[in-house]
Amino acid sequence: MLTRREVVSHLHRDLEALPFVNAAWITGSDSFGAADDRSDVDLCLDVADGSSDRAFEALEASLERLSPIVARWHVPEPAWHGHRQRFYRLADAPETLLVDVALKERSTVAQRFDERETHGEPHVLFDRLGIVHARPLDVAANDARIRERLDQLESRAALFTCFAAKEAARGRALDALWAWQAFVIAPLVEALRIVHCPERFSFGMRYLHRDLPPPLAARLQDLAYVRDLADLRTKEPGARAWLGEALAQARQRHPREAEAQGG
């Protein structure tokens, strides 16, 4: 079986030989020093304008020389992030070792996901133009996004948090589980992130084991997993109370603009 190191080394060598590829770097777990054998290869490429098709063709040819590609997904375009993105799985690599490629043309104005506090330090394979570097998070802009998101979370909590208990009372286990995750656990995760790691408030359940204090992560894990409807009914009042407390804490730290200005 191919190792992660072998895949990265092979791509590094082949991509650096292409003059229209300006830079290649690895993000994701590598950016936080947390990669292991099960981590994806989150590969980012900066290429000359107009060469993205050629770059993907060369990349896929490189992968095929290493191992047959047995599954691929082209993210529909235009992608939400403004770049082109494709995923690959190789026959001779563990199925968890996906190659996730985000390709950015040189003059793109799309978001680059390079804020240090949010995305860590990129692991640079090569950089001909000196363009790959982390930059500080724009705290004011991030706070504005948080305030906007808090408005939505508070409104949704006031309306929909009761849905899990409603479906449990009906005896509809699947509906109750859906509502539990969507309207109790998910907003609780966001509120806790806003309080404890606002730079990654939109990351959902990813990395919670390192983004939250361990006691809170353990408490959240216990709530997120319910055995049956009886367990859900037992946990529901405490979960709703915690959600209310977390939203209140988040709002205290990120007051509405008028409140922050004393209006």
Q: Can you tell me the distance from the alpha carbon of 195 to that of 67, in angstroms, rounded to the nearest whole number?
A: 45
Q: In this structure, which topology does domain 4-127 adopt according to CATH? A: Beta Polymerase; domain 2 (3.30.460)
Tokens of residue 194, six digits: 């806003």
What is the chain written as a DSSP string? Answer: ---HHHHHHHHHHHHHT-TTEEEEEE-GGGGGT---TT--EEEEEEE-TT-HHHHHHHHHHHHHHHS-EEEEEE--SS-TTSSEEEEEEETTS-TT--EEEEEEETT--S----BHHHH---EEEEESSS----B---HHHHHHHHHHHHHHHHHHHHHHTTHHHHHHHHT-HHHHHHHHIIIIIHHHHHHHHHHH-GGGTT-TTTTHHHHS-HHHHHHHHHHH---SHHHHHHHHHHHHHHHHHHHHHHHHHS--HHHHTT-
Contact present, 90 and 84 (Cβ < 8 Å): no
Q: Can you tell me the distance from the alpha carbon of 150 to that of 219, in angstroms, rounded to the nearest whole number?
A: 22
pLDDT at 263: 52
Q: Count Cβ atoms below 10 Å from residue 64 Cβ, excluding itself.
A: 12
Q: Count Cβ atoms below 10 Å from residue 186 Cβ, excluding itself.
A: 16
Say what angle helices 229-253 and 139-160 make with each other, to 10 degrees: 140
Q: What are phi and psi of 46, to 5 degrees?
A: -110, 120
Below-50 pLDDT ranges, the chain: none
Contact present, 239 and 176 (Cβ < 8 Å): no
Q: Can you tell me the distance from the alpha carbon of 75 to that of 85, in angstroms, rounded to the nearest whole number?
A: 6
pLDDT at 109: 82
Q: Can you tell me the distance from the alpha carbon of 32 to that of 121, in angstroms, rounded to the nearest whole number?
A: 7
pLDDT at 89: 98
pLDDT at 258: 63
pLDDT at 112: 84
Q: Can you tell me the distance from the alpha carbon of 116 to that of 168, in angstroms, rounded to the nearest whole number?
A: 43
Contact present, 125 and 15 (Cβ < 8 Å): yes
pLDDT at 110: 81
Q: Convert the pLDDT of each residue in 65-112 to its tens digit.
A: 999 999 999 999 988 888 999 999 999 999 999 999 999 999 988 888
Q: Convert the pLDDT of each residue in 140-165 to its tens digit.
A: 999 999 999 999 999 999 999 999 99
Q: What are phi and psi of 198, to 5 degrees?
A: -60, -25
